[in-house]
């Protein structure tokens, strides 16, 4: 993107899902920034899969065909739509996750652009997109085997996840997958699995969708005690306090 490129804010919107189902969009006319407020699933842009979880942020080009597949009943996505005079980048989408450098600033800009005053939105949108693109300038592509592993983990959030099986499916040894996963995503497979399960648990408990006992088995825990311990270790409070 050159300095002469003009970015114009157009509108904001959101998508919610109360059950896992596939939503296919027509070819995207305008560029957009997508913030995953809750839930998990897979976004597919032009045939490329991008697993998502709560907190992830995408920036996607126009002209791409998007398929959205939430894998749980609690997904909310906020969308900031803008128009650029020039293509922003070559891939159909760029993805930023919690823990990545620059994430906090871009998340704050997403919030300000979405909820800020109308008069500030055009300026905020330009700053948001430029910050996002600066973060990803010359970024190397994620190993497709690791991307596939992350996608499988997200799809199995309601199961007892076995890294040995996922590694085998992705053509890697367990130790090699763990090493590559930490390099690509900045956290271990164990922490990644725990986080997506606990984020999902917190949301469903707040919404009072399941009892603690029902939720513990739904998320693949062998007993309510193991679930309660994991939840308290992650959030510092027991699930009964949510």
Per-position pLDDT tens, the chain of length 242: 444 567 889 899 888 876 656 666 656 678 889 999 888 888 888 777 788 888 899 988 887 777 877 877 678 888 998 888 777 777 778 888 877 777 888 888 898 898 888 888 888 888 888 888 887 765 566 788 988 898 888 778 888 899 999 999 999 999 999 999 988 877 899 998 998 888 888 877 877 878 999 999 989 999 999 999 999 998 899 999 87
Same domain, 132 and 152: no
Domain CATH code at residue 96: 2.60.120.280
- CA quadruple 38, 71, 33, 80: dihedral positive or negative? negative
What pLDDT does 19 receive?
63
Residue 68's nearest CA partner among 97, 36, 91, 105 is: 36
Please check whether residue 147 is in contact with residue 49, taking contact to mean a CB–CB distance below 8 angstroms. yes
Please check whether residue 141 is in contact with residue 90, taking contact to mean a CB–CB distance below 8 angstroms. no
Distance CA 85, CA 1 (A): 10
What pLDDT does 133 receive?
82
What pLDDT does 183 receive?
84
Distance CA 188, CA 197 (A): 14
Task: Tell whether 197 is covered by a domain.
Answer: yes
What pLDDT does 151 receive?
80
Q: Map residue 122 onto helix, strand or coil.
A: helix
Same domain, 106 and 180: no
Distance CA 224, CA 189 (A): 22
What pLDDT does 3 receive?
46
Task: Tell whether 1 is covered by a domain.
Answer: no
User: Which of these three, 108, 136, 164, is where a domain ends?
Assistant: 136
What pLDDT does 205 receive?
85
Domain containing 168: what range?
A: 144-241
Distance CA 168, CA 75 (A): 29
Task: Tell whether 26 is covered by a domain.
Answer: yes
Q: Compute the residue count for the chain.
A: 242
User: Which of these three, 112, 136, 160, is where a domain ends?
Assistant: 136
Please check whether residue 90 is in contact with residue 55, taking contact to mean a CB–CB distance below 8 angstroms. no
Same domain, 18 and 100: yes
Same domain, 11 and 126: yes
Same domain, 28 and 113: yes
Task: Tell whether 191 is covered by a domain.
Answer: yes
């Amino acid at each position: 993107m050159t300095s002469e490129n003009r970015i114009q804010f157009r509108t904001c919107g959101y998508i919610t899902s109360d059950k896992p189902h596939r939503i296919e969009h027509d070819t995207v006319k305008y560029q957009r920034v997508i913030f995953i407020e809750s839930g998990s699933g897979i976004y597919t842009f032009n045939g490329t899969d991008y697993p998502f979880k709560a907190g992830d942020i995408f920036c996607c080009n126009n002209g791409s065909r998007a398929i959205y597949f939430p894998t749980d009943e609690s997904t909310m996505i906020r969308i900031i739509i803008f128009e650029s005079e020039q293509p922003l980048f070559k891939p159909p989408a760029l993805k930023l996750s919690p823990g990545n450098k620059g994430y906090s600033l871009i998340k704050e800009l997403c919030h300000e652009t979405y909820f800020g005053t109308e008069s500030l939105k055009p300026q905020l949108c330009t700053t948001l997109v430029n910050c996002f693109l600066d973060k990803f300038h010359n970024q190397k592509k994620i190993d497709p085997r690791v991307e596939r592993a992350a996608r499988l983990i997200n799809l199995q959030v309601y199961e007892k996840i076995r890294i040995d099986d996922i590694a085998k499916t992705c053509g890697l040894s367990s130790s090699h997958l763990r090493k590559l996963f930490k390099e690509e995503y900045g956290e271990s497979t164990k922490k990644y699995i725990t986080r997506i399960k606990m984020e999902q648990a917190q949301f469903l408990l707040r919404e009072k969708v399941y009892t603690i006992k029902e939720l513990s088995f739904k998320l693949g825990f062998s007993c309510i005690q193991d679930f309660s311990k994991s939840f308290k270790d992650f959030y510092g409070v027991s699930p009964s306090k949510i």
